[in-house]
Amino acid sequence: MAMRILTLIGLIGGIIALVGIFTPWATASGWGMSVSASAWDGIRDAAGSYFTVALVGACIALVGALSALAAPRVKVLWAILAIGAILAIAGAAYGFADIYTGTEGGFLYGYGYGLYLTLIGGILALIGALGGGILAFTGSLGPLKG
């Protein structure tokens, strides 16, 4: 039962991280208008950047969680989930470091909620991966029922 809960935490984290890619990472408002940009917009404009790392990480975490849900005793699947989570966290963390916040030219720049979603999703996926991985590697799974 604990294994399925940890897998679901990882799965929910992967889904949240992936949703975060398509929601605003950066916002700007001023002079009666407001604009935002998602990581997906950044991927299309600057391929190979931290946006791409976050997207790849979220996708890997999602695939790892779905695979671990199907076969929880396969240890490498927990590692795949952890790697995806770490990549999603790294991409979001770099986003926090790179996105400009403050005021300039009458505009207020800030972080969007998608950046937070990607980071929180990556952390949840990592929690699920570490918990499930520890149970799988120590052999503490016990009999899988139902």
Q: Where are the alpha helices (DSSP H) in the chain?
A: 2-21, 39-45, 50-70, 75-98, 113-138
pLDDT digit string (tens) for 66-78? 999 999 889 999 9
What distance lies between CA 23 and its chain's CA centroid? Answer: 12
In this structure, which amino acid lies at residue 107?
F
pTM of the model: 0.91
Report the range of poorest mean pLDDT among 51-55, 58-62, 132-136. 132-136
Buried b (16+ CB within 10 A) or exposed e, 44-65: eeeeebbbbbbbbbbbbbbebb
Instruction: Output the pLDDT for position 3.
Output: 85
Question: What tokens appear for 57 in the block?
Answer: 């990480």
Q: Which residue has the tokens 């799974």?
A: 141
| Residue that wins the pLDDT comparison between 139 and 4 | 4
Task: Tell me what the mean pLDDT of segment 54-63 comes to.
Answer: 97
Residue 46 confidence class, pLDDT cut points 50, 70, 90: low
